[in-house]
Amino acid sequence: MKTVAETLTAHRSIRQFKPDEIPQTIIDEVLHEAIMGTSSSGNLNSYSLIVTRDPERKRRLYELHSEQEFVLQAPLVITFCADWYRTRQWLELRGARDNFNNFLGYQVAANEAMLISQSVTLGFEARGYGICYMGTTLQAMQEIADYLNLPETCLPITTIVVGVPDEQPERRERLPMRAYIHDETYQEVSPSELEELYAAREESGWQRYMSMPHLRALCEEGGITSLAQMYTSPYKYDPDAYAATSQQVLEALRGRGFLPSTPGLSQTEE
């Protein structure tokens, strides 16, 4: 098994998998280690994991995840949910006051779902398996919640697909460390420092996109000439689509009881 440092160094998101199944004992071991070894706010562990292996169910998840092929290919899909339902049932059982059906509850539980997802990721990666996160979980939050029968105050936050890698991608670039790490207080960067911080990333990222003929043609058509423009183009994180998805996420939070079902009107608006 790899050490933490070896695991992190070897990390690449994997998007092509061999058909090999993951033995149930390995899945059990990784999940047990992750649950036992991940910190939790108040030790309330406000998350749940939905483990999907059934091909038919994976097919439906593939559709909900914008038909990203590797959802079908990977033998294992795990959906990490912010979940206060179980805890709230227990509170009720013991005659305790209800709580966590509010925005702070959502935020805390969403953090927990992300923390446990990365522990699970490290467990699989340390054993030589590959993973890819699925950001599409947020885009299809409501539909995934319905499909997985998630109860009140329980919503999917992220998903990973897991399997035996069938590709060896290059390590993806990051910015120089000084871009992320601030000494004591936040340090603003000047425009020329910003140029420097992004130079290598812009070059390699743009080259990677331009090496994909389909994307290259779309960029040429749409007049997109840089990595930054690409990121907020219709082909990546379109601002209008992002705003629309934000509304859907808010709706999902209302639908599952994390926010009041109708937005509160102020006195003057009434």
Task: Pick one of 113, 148, 158, 224: the residue that binds ligand FMN (CB under 6 A).
Answer: 158
Distance in angstroms (rounded) separating the CA atoms of residues 132 and 169: 12
Q: Nearer Cβ to ligand FMN, position 128 or 260?
A: 128
12 binds ligand FMN (CB under 6 A): yes
| Residue number with CB closer to ligand FMN (15 or 60) | 15
Cα–Cα distance measured from residue 112 to residue 75, given in angstroms and rounded to the nearest whole number: 25
Q: How far is the CB of 33 from ligand FMN (least distance, A)?
A: 21
Instruction: Give me the residues paired with residue 165 across strands.
Output: 17
Q: Which is nearer to ligand FMN, 90 or 237 (CB)?
A: 237
For the segment 170-199, give every residue that binds ligand FMN (CB under 6 A): 172
**Is 136 among the residues that bind ligand FMN (CB under 6 A)?**
yes
Please report, as residue ranges, which positions from 47 to 106 form the binding site for ligand FMN (by CB under 6 A). 68
CB-based contact 72:59 (threshold 8 Å): yes
**In sequence order, what are the residues at sequence separation of 6 or more whose Cβ sits closer than 8 angstroms to the Cβ of residue 267?**
none
Nearest distance, CB of residue 11 and ligand FMN, angstroms: 6
Instruction: Give the residue with the Cβ less far from ligand FMN, 24 or 232.
Output: 232
In sequence order, the 6+-apart residues with CB closer than 8 A to the CB of 106 are 82, 155, 253, 258, 259
What does the block give as tokens for 255? Answer: 């639908």
* Rounded Cα gap, residues 258 and 81, in angstroms: 13
**Residue 34: CB minimum distance to ligand FMN, A:** 16
Q: Candidates 32-40, 53-61, 86-94, 129-137 — which segment interacts with ligand FMN by CB under 6 A?
A: 129-137
Q: Which residues contact 68 (CB under 8 A, 6 or more apart)?
A: 15, 62, 134, 136
Query: In sequence order, what are the beta bridge partners of 82?
Result: 47, 155
CB-nearer residue toward ligand FMN: 100 or 110: 110
Q: Are the CB atoms for 173 and 205 separated by under 8 Å?
A: yes
Residue 15 sits in the site that holds ligand FMN (CB under 6 A): yes
Which of 4, 6, 9, 13 is in the footprint of ligand FMN by CB under 6 A?
13
The answer to the question of residue 132 lying near ligand FMN (CB under 6 A) is yes
Residues in touch with ligand FMN (CB under 6 A) = 11-13, 15, 68, 132-136, 158, 172
